[in-house]
Amino acid sequence: MTSYLQIYITLFSVLNPLVAIPLYLDTTRRFSRPEKTLILTAFGFAMFSVMAIAFVLGQPLLNGIGIHDYSLKIGGGLIVLLIAISIVTSGSGTDKQFDGDNSAHDFRKRIIGFGVSPLAIPIVIGPGSIIMVILYSQEAHSLALQLQFFSIFLLLSLTISLLFALSGLIYKVIGDIGLVILSKLMGLVLAAVAVEMIFSGLTRALPLLWAGVNPA
């Protein structure tokens, strides 16, 4: 059983929240503090919930419906790639999410929706982190170990939410022009991450197809 700190560092690295900072900054640069707080609350709740659900139900669910890890990587990679292309070519990739009806109730729902997706899923919590959580669930054979993992998930959610909250300091330094440049660069990085996810899934799936084995 790996140590508490090792698990935390490994999951933080796989989650790689730094890639999502430009998206968060670009989307929320004109939002009020309460609106940003609402986004981060939704983000933190979604992040913890997804990791907890994947930990408890991930392996049984995948086995039950016949979904393989490479399918998650390919599907998630395609979604992330589309978001990355939108960031590079037209901005944050989330502008349309806040278009349309601007009533207070509807705007609140869209703000919460942004915190859940795409910020939490699939930008921060992608197939790689979900698979990693599922693999860790196979090591937790006691209630004490399971509680340890849940505490790690909670700590990660709080840490990354705090990281986003402090990212406003970056915006004060680099300004609008710097944010656009950073957003485009991170869009390229996000695209590269997406391609790696897709390639990783294909390297598992294609040999099975070539061998005439049904992946399902």
83 is a domain residue: yes
**pLDDT tens per residue, range 111-149:** 999 999 989 998 899 877 888 898 788 788 889 999 999
Residue 182 CA to its chain's centroid (Å): 19
Give the pLDDT of residue 187: 79
216 is a domain residue: no
**pLDDT tens per residue, range 180-199:** 787 788 778 878 878 887 89
91 is a domain residue: yes
- Angle of helix 33-65 relative to helix 104-114, nearest 10 degrees, comes to 50
126 is a domain residue: yes
Q: Where in the sequence is the domain holding 156, given as residue range(s)?
A: 4-210
Whether the predicted pLDDT of 101 surpasses 60: no
191 is a domain residue: yes
CA dist., res. 139 & res. 120, Å (int): 25
181 is a domain residue: yes
| Number of domains forming the structure of the chain | 1
Q: DSSP secondary structure string, 115-184?
A: IIIIIIIIIIS-HHHHHHHHHHHTT--SHHHHHHHHHHHHHHHHHHHHHHHHTHHHHHHHHHHHHHHHHH
215 is a domain residue: no
60 is a domain residue: yes
CA dist., res. 85 & res. 81, Å (int): 6
Whether omega before 122 lies within 30 degrees of 0, making that bond cis, reads yes
